[in-house]
Amino acid sequence: MLRFSLTLIAALAALLPALAQTDLRDIVTDLKARSPKCVILIMDVSESMKVDDYNRKMRDAAGTILKDSLSDGDQVVLYTFGASYKKIFDETPGTPAARRKLMDQLPLKPEPGEGTNIRQPHHEALKLARASGKTPFLVILTDSFNDPPKNTPTAYTEYQKYYTPGKLEIYPNTPENQDYESQLTWMTGSEGKTFGIGVEILPSGRPKERFKVAPKETIVATPEPTQQSSPISTPTSKPDEFPWALLLGVGSVAVLGILFTILRPKPLPLRIVGTGAPRDFDVRGNTVLRLGGEGGSAALDAYPIAGTKEVIATVKGGRGEFTLEPQPGVKARVYHNGMPLEKSSPLRYGDEVRVSILDSNGALVKESRLKFSNPNQPI
């Protein structure tokens, strides 16, 4: 039993946050250097945070900020949000023990319901920070996905005060959005700063949001019946007959569920080193990592490529290995271990991906080299 417990602990340890730890350290360093200050955590608890254990990763990051970046006299606030938002606490903890106790109020899991409205709690946080009279620091923790809460009319009404449905970069002319813009202008001119974990913060101070891409539906034609089927009678059990078959079926499902939980493939650790800081990821069977793309410098599922905003390739996990997938129509030239990346290829620790960014005449503008390694193995 002890051996099994140790194995379970080791498996959980393998799920360390895929956040860029250097980024989190930078946030803690910047916050620690200023006091008194007002630190506001704005934490996503929408259902999309279930993916790849994002909720726990964000909780760990928020806990580190609470534990390591605050000083006596600092005000700290926590907002959580999904389709709507809640203020969880607004405290000025005077001791390290009091600051650590606030960690108990961090959300343990995402909340049910559809919809994500990032801007409304961000707006409220800006107003609170301005009223505090202290140096303001905001930390937005989210996967950056925007999901209109259409199934909840009240939340959707609030959503439309900050968003033009279907368009993330066209802002509605509402009193709420106008005041939001005013607060953003104040924040960018203050001595404070807004940080993003899992999301890029634009020069305007807005978080850079993105829509989810819905999978294409597959239409399956129903074949016409070739003959008239006969009615099927369902046998019934006698009143005094114990339903052994049902019990056996339920038990089998339970056993299979336990075996799946224990034996399911562990996520594979992957470190990518390029022109920027190294970033560590936990690659599960359903994980797709983008190499490049919009917001890659802050996203939890991407590694940025200097000189381009397009996704030049993806890394997929599954069956204990990585697969490097080319992307159609990419303008950059992509090479895997010196060979042009033209089809799906196994990606192994120690491999190199070279990306050549070309201008309209085909001349080399910038080149990036990415190295892939196991962060759990010494160099």
Contacts (Cβ under 8 Å, ≥6 apart) of 359: 365
Cα Rg, the chain, nearest whole Å: 25
Whether 274 maps to a domain, the answer reads yes
Mean of the per-residue pLDDT values for the chain?
81
Q: Encoding tokens for residue 9?
A: 């602990």
The CATH number of whichever domain residue 111 belongs to comes to: 3.40.50.410
Tens digits of residue pLDDT in 278-331: 888 888 777 788 898 877 777 778 888 888 888 999 998 877 788 999 998 888
Full residue range of the structural domain in which residue 60 is found: 14-211
pLDDT of residue 293: 84
pLDDT range class, residue 148, cuts 50, 70, 90: very high
Range 61-90 average pLDDT: 95
Are 108 and 30 found together in one domain?
yes
Are 46 and 114 found together in one domain?
yes
- Asked if pLDDT for residue 142 goes beyond 90, the answer is yes
Whether 302 maps to a domain, the answer reads yes
Are 195 and 295 found together in one domain?
no
- Asked if pLDDT for residue 359 goes beyond 70, the answer is yes
Would you say the C-alpha torsion 83, 84, 89, 91 has a positive or negative sign? Answer: positive
Are 70 and 165 found together in one domain?
yes
Cα dist from 158 to 24, 25, 210, 271, whole Å: 32, 35, 19, 40
The span from the CA of 136 to the CA of 293, in Å, is 30
Tens digits of residue pLDDT in 229-241: 434 344 444 444 5
Are 58 and 127 found together in one domain?
yes
Are 181 and 86 found together in one domain?
yes
Whether 141 maps to a domain, the answer reads yes
Give the global pTM.
Answer: 0.61
Q: Which amino acid is located at 108 in the chain?
A: L
Are 53 and 144 found together in one domain?
yes
Are 344 and 199 found together in one domain?
no
Whether 88 maps to a domain, the answer reads yes
Q: Encoding tokens for residue 187?
A: 């924040």
Tens digits of residue pLDDT in 266-275: 778 888 998 7
pLDDT of residue 13: 35
Are 92 and 200 found together in one domain?
yes
DSSP conformation letters of 21-41: HHHHHHHHHHHHT--SEEEEE
> Where are the alpha helices (H) located in 69-145, listed in sequence order?
96-102, 119-132
pLDDT of residue 281: 85
- Asked if pLDDT for residue 10 goes beyond 50, the answer is no
Whether 326 maps to a domain, the answer reads yes
- Asked if pLDDT for residue 17 goes beyond 60, the answer is no
**Cα three-residue angle 302-166-158, rounded to 5 degrees:** 105
- Rounded (10°) CA dihedral 165, 168, 171, 175: 70
Contacts (Cβ under 8 Å, ≥6 apart) of 40: 76, 77, 78, 79, 125, 128, 129, 136, 137, 138, 139
The span from the CA of 66 to the CA of 98, in Å, is 10
Are 24 and 111 found together in one domain?
yes
Tens digits of residue pLDDT in 30-58: 999 999 999 999 999 998 888 777 888 89
Tens digits of residue pLDDT in 19-33: 434 478 889 999 999
Whether 232 maps to a domain, the answer reads no
Last residue of a domain, one of 172, 193, 211: 211
Q: Which of 183, 152, 181 is nearest to 85 (CA)?
A: 152
Are 102 and 194 found together in one domain?
yes
**Cα three-residue angle 172-173-179, rounded to 5 degrees:** 100
Last residue of a domain, one of 175, 193, 211: 211
What are the two backbone dihedrals, phi and then psi, of residue 63, each rounded to the nearest 5 degrees? Answer: -60, -40
The CATH number of whichever domain residue 338 belongs to comes to: 2.60.200.20
The residue among 264 and 370 whose pLDDT is bigger is: 370
Last residue of a domain, one of 179, 211, 243: 211
The span from the CA of 273 to the CA of 349, in Å, is 12
What are the two backbone dihedrals, phi and then psi, of residue 127, each rounded to the nearest 5 degrees? Answer: -65, -40
Domain count, the chain: 2
Tens digits of residue pLDDT in 172-231: 999 999 999 999 999 999 999 999 998 999 999 999 998 876 444 433 444 444 444 434
Are 206 and 308 found together in one domain?
no
Whether 239 maps to a domain, the answer reads no
Whether 64 maps to a domain, the answer reads yes
